[in-house]
Chains A and B, each alone.
Chain A
Amino acid sequence: MRSLLLVFIFMCGNLWAAPILNRNMSFGSDLILWQDHLDKNVFYYLPSSIQVVERYHWGFALSKNEMKVAFTQNVDKVKLERSKKALLAHYPKAVLVQYELNKFMVPLKEYHKDFFREYRCINNKDAKEYIAYCIFQLTQKGVDVLIPFLKNGKILPLNYVYAIDGVLELADGTFKKYVQESAIPMYLGGDVVVNDPDMQAFRAD
């Protein structure tokens, strides 16, 4: 009974499915595909960047001193298809799943304070229309320098810092829990911002 209980406890630890973070199963492109440590047919991938959503999906709004921006996940579909095709040759039942990023933060650096008086970003767990919604209160320098910068099609990079609860494959074939903290580039700017009606209407005083 005692040994059965021990096996049960050990199994419970193993039954929690997680990506194997030190093994890439993508053969067709430079995408990273992590295999699930319990289900060999499940593979996880991440977005390659986080970008501003177009206005009709919530998108971007600029008023005098405030910028509201919805961000969405961008996946390189060409790379994903190539990787999927190569993977299906070895795992005919393979299912590719976008890893759900729940824990996140968008840390700002000191120099951002030149442009932003305050900011707040909230996560959207649903992640269908947007993954993060940020409100930036602009300083006068933000209005005078950053907005023209963005209007010229340039990009202010931010970081979408996330944590993944995964496992590492060990030499003896067992797994060790591992939390990977990493960042996806988050692009504030680009064509969507340039073409936004609020940005088009913006005139520097």
Chain B
Amino acid sequence: MKYLILLLILSTSIHAAPVLNENIAANGSQVTIWPDHRDANHFYYAPNMMNIAVDRNENLKFHLTEYLTNCNFARRCVKRGMLNVFFVAGYREDQLKDAQAGILRLNPHARFSPIPFLSSQVEFGKILSPFVDEHDCSPRAGQAADEVPCSLILNPRGLMTLLPYLNDGKTLPFKFFYRISGVLSTGDGRFIDEMLNYSITVNLGDEKLINHPDLN
């Protein structure tokens, strides 16, 4: 019986969660770092950017193909484009290191982990709707450093407008949302449970896309 109670106590007392209303990164920093509510040496950091991923040859993971579909009896078809882009959430390394160094000066035992997502998703909003027939950007995306694949099916207007726009190095903004679970500090030493949604603005497009072979 004593062992059962001991196990019960152990199983409910050794863990902790991020304090989501206490960003302890220095003022002016674009990095978010949350402390753990029980372990004074454990901190969590949040992603603050999202880029187009690269393969092992450093090529952008940006793939486009055009094709004809919905052909009628007169063999008139609609041209579509399938654009597959892979994004990855990340951190501005210099800003993150500066913020971590500031915490390490005060607490040399500090350890840092990326915040785990409970869920994540990409939302394009209405900005792309005139150009895109369909999109699939992982309504259920994965963990912090996982690639997020986005497939856009471009309609003829999208092919005519969007591709030259991207080829000029211009960008289209959209949002990457993620949901995390932690606690909120009530200011009197107590904590309450909380789940919060955060977002990062992502740009579809990159100056590296200028003269990309798939856009020419």
Contact = CB atoms under 8 A, between A and B. Distances in A.
B15 A169 contact: yes
B110 to A, nearest CB: 10
Nearest to A176: B193
B63 A24 contact: no
B153 A111 contact: yes
Contact of A170 (B17, B18, B82): B17
B207 interface: no
Interface stretch (B140-148, B157-165, B167-175): B140-148
A38 interface: yes
Contacts of A204: none
Interface string B1-43: 1001101100111111110000000000000000011100000
A159 B86 CA distance: 12
A31 B131 CA distance: 36
Interface in A133-188: 141, 144-145, 148-149, 154-157, 159, 161, 168-175, 178, 180-185, 187
B114 interface: yes
A53 B200 CA distance: 34
Contacts of B51: none
B181 interface: yes
A17 B148 CA distance: 29
A157 B152 CA distance: 11
B193 A14 contact: no
Interface of A: 4, 7-8, 10-11, 14, 20-27, 30-32, 34-35, 37-38, 40, 46, 48-49, 79, 86, 90, 109-111, 114, 141, 144-145, 148-149, 154-157, 159, 161, 168-175, 178, 180-185, 187
14 contacts: A11-B7, A23-B116, A30-B144, A46-B142, A157-B150, A157-B151, A168-B181, A169-B16, A171-B193, A173-B16, A174-B12, A175-B12, A181-B119, A184-B142
Given A109-B151, A171-B192, 14 more contacts: A23-B116, A24-B144, A30-B114, A40-B14, A48-B145, A114-B80, A141-B67, A155-B61, A155-B86, A156-B84, A180-B119, A184-B142, A185-B147, A185-B148
